[in-house]
Structure 1
């Protein structure tokens, strides 16, 4: 705009348009940044959530349990010296080596069912080796069972 005012350039209208559009763009950017910052801040601080309406129970129905406890049983039987690894949710994770012909069992109790897995694989694989087995039982019902000589992998996703 200065060059156009001094007579060194002939595009004064284009310069004014550029300044106006730049100012509008800057205002939009500032508003967007403020809105995004507020959304991030609200999420980080945890806005109060609306309470769920109370559940309506049918007449004569037994009252619902506050939280039902579940039992998960992980079981592995080895046909050779094997690596065993298991996990449940994000908290439990264990790895160990089992000798040939051993049966390993882990019993977990939890209020809310979560992803659980167990795997078994031989330390030294040899052709003709019998199958190792893994099994996951939830509340007395077998939900997955696998057998393989190379390795067995059982997962449970509620």
Structure 2
């Protein structure tokens, strides 16, 4: 049996809000860091991240792993992006949404991810979701769509200065 499968089995055997669950998710995230397309680690982490009934701390750990170790395979990338989008669109507590927003950067080439980042940075009610979506947008790097979002954001009272700095760093500042 693959050690990852043993960790997943142990995860399911733990009480719902056990710190051991978070530790096991972190261990599986470490496996994903070594093998970004691990056939058991990636689907497991995506399912934990998207599961609204799961312990929030384990979900945060799963979204962090998906941010730090994005899969290289297109199908796996889409699976990870779909899980993060489910968190962003779901009825989740702010903490999970904050971490999911931060994790979107590596998946920004997918149009639905770009739309979720743009919506979050331009109008989410949680200021930390907005901040984290801006960090993800910066991490994703310049594209016409992302530059357009940043230009829209430059007049924003709280994030406008950072949007202008990103645009300058990308060599895409607005003409006066």
TM-score, normalized by length of structure 2?
Answer: 0.19
Which fold has the larger relative contact order, with Cα–Cα distance below 8 Å and residues 6 or more apart in sequence?
Answer: 1
Higher-strand-fraction structure: 1
